[in-house]
């Protein structure tokens, strides 16, 4: 493995293995990672492991309209809204990926580390939280509130280090993990109860 890939490996594991988030808010988490407050006019996408690289993205109006279209019909309940959030995040990954060079990002952390434009769990968590904040700010999300992130695992434990964005269901207070890092760019993220995610859940045949 080339030196830069080894460095990225160490950076990725170190970042994903550092369970530290001082803020309890979504905005705070984004700012802790060194990104400015996202707006519909422009926002920052992290990539190359642990936010080693950052690209400012400016969506065209029609690209954001694709996100709004996911919510145009009446939302039945919180479960319906979670499904729409998942589809909207997938849309945003593609739109942002065109500008950030991350369209080819593969799910996982280590299985495609030598390829350009790859992301680890920290990059994914920052970016997904950014998308949640943008949707929330545009009034698209009504049954959930974006939170800070949740961490699990240790470097030498049975469950490897990992971080995920979290949303709270406004009516019940239940916490949900919104994890896009398991899948290739543009795939709908899994949205599942945080308590289940914390046990080490992974998709079948997932390769870290």
Lowest-confidence region among 44-58, 110-124, 172-186 = 110-124
Asked whether residue 201 carries a pLDDT value surpassing 80, the answer given is: yes
Chain position carrying tokens 């959930």: 144
| Burial grade of 96 (CB within 10 A; 0-12, 13-18, 19 or more) | buried
Strand partners, 191: 178
3-state secondary structure of 146: strand
3-state secondary structure of 147: strand
- CA 91 from centre of chain: 13
pTM of the model: 0.90
Each residue of 62-119: pLDDT tens digit?
A: 999 999 999 999 999 999 999 999 999 999 999 999 999 999 999 887 766 767 789 9
| CA 139, 142, 144, 147 torsion-angle sign | positive
Residue 11's pLDDT is 52
């Amino acid at each position: 493995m080339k030196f830069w890939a080894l460095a990225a490996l160490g950076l990725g594991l170190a970042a994903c293995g550092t369970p530290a988030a001082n803020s309890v808010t979504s905005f705070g988490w984004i700012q802790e990672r060194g990104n400015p407050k996202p707006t519909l006019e422009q926002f920052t996408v992290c990539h190359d492991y642990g936010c080693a690289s950052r690209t400012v993205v400016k969506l065209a109006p029609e690209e954001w309209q694709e996100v709004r279209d996911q919510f145009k019909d009446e939302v039945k309940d919180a479960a319906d809204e979670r499904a729409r959030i998942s589809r909207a995040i997938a849309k945003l990954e593609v739109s942002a990926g065109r500008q950030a060079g991350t369209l080819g990002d593969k799910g996982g952390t280590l299985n495609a580390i030598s390829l350009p434009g790859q992301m680890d769990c920290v990059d994914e968590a920052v970016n997904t939280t950014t998308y949640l904040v943008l949707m929330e700010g545009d009034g698209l999300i009504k049954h959930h509130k974006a939170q800070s992130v949740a961490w699990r695992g240790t470097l030498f434990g049975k469950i490897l280090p990992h971080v995920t964005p979290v949303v709270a269901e406004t009516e019940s207070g239940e916490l949900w993990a919104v994890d896009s890092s398991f899948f290739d760019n543009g795939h709908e993220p899994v949205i599942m109860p945080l308590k289940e995610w914390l046990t080490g859940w992974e998709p079948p045949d997932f390769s870290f």
